[in-house]
Amino acid sequence: MNTRLSAVIAMSSRYGTVARRAALAVVVVWLLVLPQLVDTYTLVLATQALVFGLLAVGVGVLTGHAGLATMGQVAPYAVGAYTTAWLTRHDITAGLLQLPAAALAGALFAAVTGIVVIRARGVVALMLTLAVGELTATAAVQWKEFTGGSDGVSTPPARIFPGGAELFDDQDIYLYVLVVALVVAGITALVLRSPAGLLLAGVRDNEDRMRAAGHPVDRYLLLTYTGAGAISGISGALLMTYARYVSPQDVGFDISALALLAVVIGGVRSTAGAFAGAGLIVFTRDKLGNWWPGHAPLFLGILFLIAVYLLPNGAAGVAQQLRSLADRMGLRVPGLVPRTPAAAGAGDGTVPASGAPVPEEADAR
Amino acid sequence: MTDLLTVTELTRSYGSFVALDRADLTVAEGARHALIGPNGAGKTTLLNLIAGTDLATSGRIAFAGRDITWQRPHRRSRGGIARTFQHPSVVPVATVLDNVLLGAWHHHTAAPWRRAGRRRIADDCRAILETVGLTGLEHRQAGELSHGRRRMLDLAVALAGRPRLLLLDEPAAGLTDADVTVLLAVLRDLSDDVAVLLVEHNLDVVAAFARTVTVLHHGRPLVTGTPAEIQADPAVREAYLGRRKVAETA
Amino acid sequence: MDWLDAHLIPALDGVAYGMLLFVVAAGLTLAFGSGGVLNLAHGTVYAMGAYIAADIGDGSWGMLVLALAVGAAAGATSGGVLAVAVAPVARRGHLDQALLTFGIALVGGDMLVSYFGADQRQVAVPKALEDSVTIAGHQYPTYRLAFIGVAALLAGLGYWLLVRSTAGAAVRATTDDPEMVAALGLSPRVVHTATLVVAGALAGGAGVLGAPIITPSPETADTVMLWSLIIVVVGRLGSVLGALFAAIAVGEVQTLGVVLAPDLAPYLLFGAMGIALLVRSGSGILPEFAARARVLATRARALKGGGA
């Protein structure tokens, strides 16, 4: 292989191949100019998809990276949403204050519930998180002073800065939500691609080995669970920004199941995939649901079936198959440790090329 | 030699089944100590309890003068206990080098969160991989390795933890003769600062490596001695070797 | 005595609720036990039975029997369909199965609403059971009392089937050791399919009989499914007798609990589920806490010793 080419690949591989970065850039630009391309209704749906996608990112971090399948990520989402509602009603309407507050509330909530949740695995984790989610939804009905009970709570519009203009226009709201979602998702993806991603892969795939090697697995998981709580809390804050209303209906167990579906569609370990899955779900529910009114559940149900039967590794799995093809053609992707020139030479020369994907993207559900 | 590990009256029962029954064991500093015994004698249970992978029902484990009976496994690892697993235990999605990096993570002076630190750790990891004969496979996914190579990787991960006590659970099981030779060479080259406690069915390996042998039977240590003493012990023959060809130990 | 008098009716209602939920949850726990299928479409089968009762039932005994036959048959069919649907992903773990059955529940729920309408339905009770009986000076609907009797009978039958009969032995054996069963020449898949069919018939039949108690509406499926899940978890996965006690407990929380502690009762159900998971999950959550407590105790003792 040409040495310069291999150097370029080695450089870019930490953040994905050049092609993937270009594709990501195109998508981001498309999202930024979307308000000029589509009608208001579609734009509102896109906003909804971004908020829901950010919820799915939290679910994906836990399900795909930490190996804790969760049906209860609506809980910190609800905490974030109700916290934001409370702040707005107490005249703290600036998004720049609401977002950290909602993240903190979601994280605190997750840190407390996580002490218990992170000890469970598999189906027990699934049911334990379901219990946490449903208990939170129950609290949303019961604790009327804070949540408005089953009637829900509505709020005046938010602003970005203290004293700034109100976020009222659908375009402004969309762009605000987009920027926040991109920043949060970007940070999440960077963290997962840092050595932290390797630690999580170890915990997910071989917990006993990690413990025996000195890794405090529980602490890693609690930290991850708390981080996912913060992400979901922010997602809840964005829900308040665009819908300006939240009720226990918005934080029910079906939303959790849909978020899990979004992650499965997009590929459990792909951050961008979570948004793609969320977009597909919102599109299915609201566009197709409008086309044949009252039958959104049917389309969503079919989406579940397709996802389970046809996409065992999600959309990202298809992309991964393409990538492993590229690997076999000699474009190998190294792991986390930067290769020294000598090792790179040895790797390219003496070792037969394997279909080895990057650890954090290897999709072995 | 002073005692590095002292196990006192250690019991582990699963319901009515007692896997380990008030077992006593001491492992000296720098020991080359083998645990042998028939299947179900409690060898792996004892190893798991010492490593913290499993918790005892009662009894006491002291390591380097500290009670570690209830200490969690990662703390024991930081204290200097490393182990391999009966079924070679690696992180399949990570590369070979990353596996060893994970083993060295909390045991290296360099900071794994910095790129330069990781590079320094990786250099040491490569050296370890060389000793176990995995050079050239650094960037392969661990899940793709053959059984024997996974076993050597498991060992490399344990060595990366710079242990004072190395627990090996049947390190030669499923290895080819060539691999066993590499394994024995690695074990022979270990510093005298490292004590090794080894569970092994392959008595050739035990004979070639161990200076002390403890025979476990029905969850209790039957006898401890040099390999020659053990071979000559009539109780051992009855409990253990009686069912095997004595020639195997020769 | 006054206390008992005031709470007799809710307590009795709780038993009726509990018995109904038990019949539904027994099927869920069987399916999970024998095939490891976490069937999130189970509540939908109940809803289907309830809709059938509302549609066919006209207050006559004949029509009730017909509805029961149709409901059970439809339930059994759904069980068969589910077994076929789940088979390709049987090896892929609980998450995929849960998503799959949830998808089936959505599709099934949509079909129910399309066919039966989205309104909550009132269900006709046979004329002979329409009245009330007097229990300790209280009026109580005869149908509920009769239902308690029928459900108790069903529970007894189910217990006998599972614990005493050969078929039950096969189901339990499949739960514990599918390879052993296969070695005996019995296909675990046949046992598993049969279990899902029986579970479906139970849920469908329970829907028909229980329609006057938990009435059919678009929310019924989710509610029944979540409550059944709680029962299955609290009653220990795969255990029939445990499910019975858990079901009555859930029924009482819904009725007596709401009267006695209206603020607390809503939390009790999922709270109990969470606690049950903690107490007996295989991951040893509580033993780990116990071990940590011992570490702290040892440290505290060491500190004390050091200070003295």
Q: Is the pLDDT of residue A322 over 80?
A: no
Is C51 in contact with C121 (CB distance < 8 Å)? yes
pLDDT at C143: 84
Q: ipTM of this model?
A: 0.90
Interface test with chain A among B71, B91, B140, B141, by most A beta carbons within 10 Å: B91
Reduced 3-state DSSP string for C103-144 = HHHHHHHHHHHHHHCCCCCCCCCCHHHCCEEEECCEEEEHHH
Q: Among C199, C196, C188, C190, which Cα is nearest to C26's?
A: C199
Read off the tokens for A20. Answer: 């993937």
CA distances to A357, C46, C48, C191, C239 from C83, in Å? 35, 17, 18, 11, 21
Burial of C150 (0-12, 13-18, 19+ CB in 10 A): middle
Domain assignment present for C296: no
* Most confident option among A73-87, A239-253, C94-108: A73-87
Tell me whether residues B55 and C291 touch, CB distance under 8 A.
yes
Band (pLDDT 50/70/90 cuts) for residue C292 is low
Q: How far is B138 from chain A (nearest CA, A)?
A: 8
List, for residues B183-235, the tens digit of each pLDDT value. 999 999 899 999 999 998 888 889 888 999 999 988 888 889 998 888 888 87
Q: Is the pLDDT of residue A365 over 50?
A: no
Interface test with chain C among A256, A304, A309, A313, by most C beta carbons within 10 Å: A304
Q: Among C148, C146, C165, which Cα is nearest to C14's?
A: C148
> Which residues share a beta bridge with B223?
B215
pTM of the full structure: 0.86
Mean pLDDT of C240-248: 83
Number of Cα atoms under 13 Å in the Cβ half of residue B163: 34
Tell me whether residues C291 and B67 touch, CB distance under 8 A.
no
Judge whether B14 is closer than 8 Å to chain C, CB to CB. Answer: no
Mean pLDDT of A215-228: 96
Q: Is the pLDDT of residue C277 over 70?
A: yes
Say which CATH number the domain at C245 has.
1.10.3470
Mean of the per-residue pLDDT values of chain B: 89
CA distances to A41, A81, A165, A171, A258 from A286, in Å? 10, 22, 30, 19, 14
Mean of the per-residue pLDDT values of chain C: 81
pLDDT at A331: 46
Give the distance, in angstroms, between the CA of residue A157 and the centroid of all CA atoms in the same chain: 25
Read off the tokens for B166. Answer: 């190395």
pLDDT at A340: 38
B75 C-beta neighbours (distance < 10 Å), count = 16
- Residue predicted with more confidence, C141 or C293: C141
Give the distance, in angstroms, between the CA of residue C141 and the centroid of all CA atoms in the same chain: 23
Classify strands C132-135 and A153-154 as parallel, antiparallel or unpaired: unpaired
Distance CA A178, CA A174 (A): 6
Classify strands C138-141 and C132-135 as parallel, antiparallel or unpaired: antiparallel
* Most confident option among A24-38, A116-130, A154-168, A291-305: A24-38
List, for residues C9-58, the tens digit of each pLDDT value. 888 888 888 888 888 888 888 777 776 778 889 999 999 999 999 888 88
Beta strands in chain A (DSSP E): 153-154, 245-246
List, for residues B230-247, the tens digit of each pLDDT value. 888 887 777 765 555 444
List, for residues B20-67, the tens digit of each pLDDT value. 999 999 999 999 999 998 888 889 999 999 999 888 888 999 999 899
Domain assignment present for C25: yes
* Percentage of residues in chain C having pLDDT higher than 70: 86
> Which residues share a beta bridge with C163?
none
Distance CA B104, CA B110 (A): 10
DSSP string, A234-296: HHHHHHHHHH-EE-GGGGSHHHHHHHHHHHHHH-TT-HHHHHHHHHHHHIIIIIIHHHSTT-H
- One-letter amino acid of B191: S
pLDDT at B64: 92
Distance CA A42, CA A57 (A): 22
Give the distance, in angstroms, between the CA of residue A282 and the centroid of all CA atoms in the same chain: 15
> C299: nearest CA in chain B?
B67
Is B148 in contact with B179 (CB distance < 8 Å)? yes
Mean pLDDT of A191-218: 93
Read off the tokens for C182. Answer: 């296969």
Domain assignment present for C215: yes
pLDDT at C294: 64
Q: Is the pLDDT of residue B83 over 90?
A: yes
Read off the tokens for A79. Answer: 């905490």
Distance CA C80, CA A169 (A): 52
Facing residue for A214 by CB, picked from B78, B140, B154: B78
| Segment 66-85 of chain B within 8 Å of chain C by CB | 67, 70-72
Q: Is B68 helix (H, G, I), strand (E, B) or coil?
A: coil
Read off the tokens for A158. Answer: 């938010």
Is C9 in contact with C243 (CB distance < 8 Å)? no
Mean of the per-residue pLDDT values of chain A: 82
> C283: nearest CA in chain A?
A120
Tell me whether residues C222 and A302 touch, CB distance under 8 A.
no
Distance CA A54, CA A60 (A): 10
Q: In chain A, what are the domain boundaries?
A: 3-343+354-361
Tell me whether residues B98 and A351 touch, CB distance under 8 A.
no
Q: Is A225 helix (H, G, I), strand (E, B) or coil?
A: helix
Domain assignment present for C270: no
pLDDT at A219: 94
Domain assignment present for C280: no
* Percentage of residues in chain B having pLDDT higher than 90: 60
List, for residues C188-222, the tens digit of each pLDDT value. 778 888 888 988 998 999 999 888 888 888 888 88
Q: How far is A255 from chain C (nearest CA, A)?
A: 12
- The b-or-e profile of A27-61 (16+ CB within 10 A means b, else e) is eeeebeebbeeeeeeebbbbbbbbbbbbbbbbbbb
Interface test with chain A among C95, C112, C223, by most A beta carbons within 10 Å: C95
Q: Is the pLDDT of residue C171 over 60?
A: yes
Distance CA A280, CA A277 (A): 5
Burial of C250 (0-12, 13-18, 19+ CB in 10 A): buried
Number of Cα atoms under 13 Å in the Cβ half of residue C242: 16
Q: Is the pLDDT of residue A332 over 60?
A: no
Tell me whether residues B71 and C287 touch, CB distance under 8 A.
no
Is B85 in contact with A209 (CB distance < 8 Å)? yes
- Residue predicted with more confidence, A97 or C154: A97
Residues of A with CB under 8 A from a CB of B: 194-195, 198-199, 201-202, 205-206, 208-217, 332, 334-340, 343, 346-347, 350-351, 354, 356, 359, 362, 364
Interface test with chain C among B14, B53, B55, by most C beta carbons within 10 Å: B55
pLDDT at C287: 57
Is A84 in contact with A236 (CB distance < 8 Å)? yes
pLDDT at A314: 56
Judge whether C296 is closer than 8 Å to chain A, CB to CB. Answer: no
C contacts of B67 (beta carbons < 8 Å): 298
* Percentage of residues in chain A having pLDDT higher than 90: 49
> A361: nearest CA in chain B?
B93
Is B44 in contact with B51 (CB distance < 8 Å)? no
A163 CB contacts (<8 Å, ≥6 apart)?
Answer: A94
- One-letter amino acid of B178: A
Whether domain A3-343+354-361 has CATH 1.10.3470: the reply is yes
pLDDT at A341: 37
Q: Is the pLDDT of residue A333 over 60?
A: no
C142 C-beta neighbours (distance < 10 Å), count = 16
Work out the end-to-end distance of chain A between its first and last CA atoms, rounded to an integer number of angstroms: 33
Q: How far is A317 from chain B (nearest CA, A)?
A: 15
Is C54 in contact with C216 (CB distance < 8 Å)? yes
List, for residues C52-90, the tens digit of each pLDDT value. 998 888 878 888 889 999 999 999 999 999 989 888 887
Instruction: Look at the domain B1-80+163-250 and name its fold.
Output: Rossmann fold (3.40.50)
Q: Among C84, C65, C32, C5, which Cα is nearest to C239's?
A: C32
pLDDT at C31: 79
| Segment 184-243 of chain C within 8 Å of chain A by CB | 222, 226, 229, 233
List, for residues B125-175, the tens digit of each pLDDT value. 999 999 998 999 999 999 999 999 999 999 999 999 999 999 999 999 888
DSSP state of C253: I
- Residue predicted with more confidence, C308 or A104: A104
pLDDT at A360: 35
- One-letter amino acid of C1: M
Classify strands B32-36 and B212-217 as parallel, antiparallel or unpaired: parallel
Widest CA span of chain A, in angstroms? 69
C68 C-beta neighbours (distance < 10 Å), count = 20
A337 CB contacts (<8 Å, ≥6 apart)?
Answer: B95, B97, B98, B101, B118, B119, B122, B125
